[in-house]
Amino acid sequence: MDYGKVVGSNTMNLETIKAIAIISDTIIHHKTDCFIPVNKTTYAILLCFMRLKKILINSTLYINSKNNSNLSRKMNIIIKYHPFTKQALIKKLIIFSTPSKKIYVSLNDLKVFSNPHRFIVNTSFGIILGSEAIRLQIGGILLLKIII
């Protein structure tokens, strides 16, 4: 299984936090999609969302409006909604670690969580779901909690 290995970046940076905030805002305001800036960390987190089958990703190239010669990579995120209740399948995203504050969790901490698959952890294997970290018997930096 591809674990979304992040090379050269061990934690969330400001661009990644901004992307998560854009996704959260999209969910809160009941929108169906949004465009977010992409870096390696953001992409690995989005792969975790896809493994939970809660969002879809359409990769696009977006031309920066200030300078048409500048191409920046952005992703089109499509939020999945329940077909009958019309509620988003992801209710809320909670960011735990920031660039200045890293929250470490051990394997035992992950086992105590009631739903470890709803946590995203940065490990030596890359950015993975909490349930995958338990299966691999490793801890890491707690990045996000997904409330479903």
Q: Where are the domains of the chain?
A: 14-147
> How many other β-carbons are positioned within 10 Å of the β-carbon of residue 121?
30
pLDDT of residue 57: 62
Query: What's the DSSP call for residue 105?
Result: E
Which CATH code is given to the segment(s) 14-147? Answer: 3.30.1490.10
Judging by beta carbons within 10 Å of its beta carbon (0-12, 13-18, 19+), is residue 45 exposed, middle or buried?
Answer: buried
What's residue 58's pLDDT? 60
In this prediction the pTM is 0.80
- The tokens describing 136, both together, are 């691999």
Strand residue runs (E) in 20-70:
33-37, 55-63
**57-114, pLDDT tens digit by residue?**
665 544 444 544 445 677 788 888 888 888 888 888 899 998 889 999 999 999 888 7
- End-to-end Cα, the chain, rounded Å: 24
